[in-house]
Amino acid sequence: MKVLLPWKPLPFLPLRLSTALVRATALELAILAGHLALYPTGIAPERRPRPAGPPPPPSLPSGAPSQPPTVLLHGFADNRSVFVLLRRSLLRHGRRQVESLNHSPLTRDIRVAAGLLGRHIEEICDRTGHPEVDIVGHSLGGLIARYYVQRLGGDRRVRTLVTLGTPHSGTTVAPLAGAHPLVRQMRPGSSVLRELGEPAPGCRTRFVAFWSDLDQWMVPVETARVEHPDLIARNVRVTGIGHLALPVHPAVATGVREALDQDGTAIAGTSDSASVA
């Protein structure tokens, strides 16, 4: 005899979290549509001024601290157009030199991309007269910058590295995408991530890692935190937005500006800050 059991609904997320996830997903789709429209504008490298003579020393207001150039580095299968809004925000609030770099879509190794990033940064320092830069990296861009800093001696050139949704401990999202070597290097336990887990005594760069509790590309979401005993790092929890929103959300832009403006004593130590969204 067939016994009919009372129907039970599947367990769902709490209503508040479910609503937040729906809103975040809708925002992600809207951002994706806008970004696809802008994508062609960022394919070509950014034009940069070429001074005729040696670079002049940075011109700063009397008593103002020296601000190094800010370098923006995009994520996987993306380009510099993702930073249109963040770049505008940084320039509007006093950053005089902001440059967006494209890493080649043909790159198949984070180590190679990190070496090329190092060459770009040397050129920027030579051209601007600044001995250091700040970097803001989204997703894979943050991992490339971290490898440069931690494994290629880039800590002498990078004052602060801000990462937005970067898989510092590896992400397990989209298993089928593992066919691409760069994606495999972003998997937990990859050779690149094992290298980044090795001791890094004396690393001078300060890290600020923004991670979102609704980032569906970071699995688990905490992988976007920097957890390394030798690094000067602070982790900033973002609530209510997803992966694609991190480089365009105005509240995150405010957090990035504050992170870049802080001195070493304000940033030292690993701790969660207040949510920014």
What does the alpha-carbon distance between residue 76 and residue 138 come to, in Å, rounded to a whole number? 9
Does this model's pTM top 0.85?
yes
The pLDDT, as a whole number, for residue 18 is: 79
Our measurement of the distance from residue 3's CA atom to the centroid of its chain's CA atoms, rounded to an integer in Å, reads 55
What phi and psi, each to the nearest 5 degrees, are found at residue 86?
Answer: -65, -40
Distances (CA, A) of 244 to 33, 68, 185, 188, 238: 11, 27, 20, 21, 13
Residue type, 101: L
Q: What is the DSSP string of 52-121?
A: SSSPPPP---TTPPP---EEEE--TT--GGGGHHHHHHHHHTT---EEEE---TT---HHHHHHHHHHHH
Nearest CA-CA partner of 131 in 59, 67, 47: 67
What does the alpha-carbon distance between residue 249 and residue 165 come to, in Å, rounded to a whole number? 13
The pLDDT, as a whole number, for residue 235 is: 96
pLDDT per residue, tens digit, the chain (277 aa), is 444 434 344 444 455 567 888 899 999 999 999 999 998 998 888 876 555 445 545 444 444 457 899 999 999 989 999 999 999 999 999 998 999 999 888 889 999 999 999 999 999 999 999 999 999 999 999 999 999 999 999 999 999 999 999 999 999 987 666 788 999 999 999 999 999 999 999 999 999 999 999 999 999 999 999 999 999 999 999 999 999 999 999 999 999 999 999 865 445 555 555 465 5
Distances (CA, A) of 112 to 151, 223, 264: 12, 23, 30
The pLDDT, as a whole number, for residue 93 is: 94
Q: Are 156 and 184 in contact (CB under 8 A)?
A: no
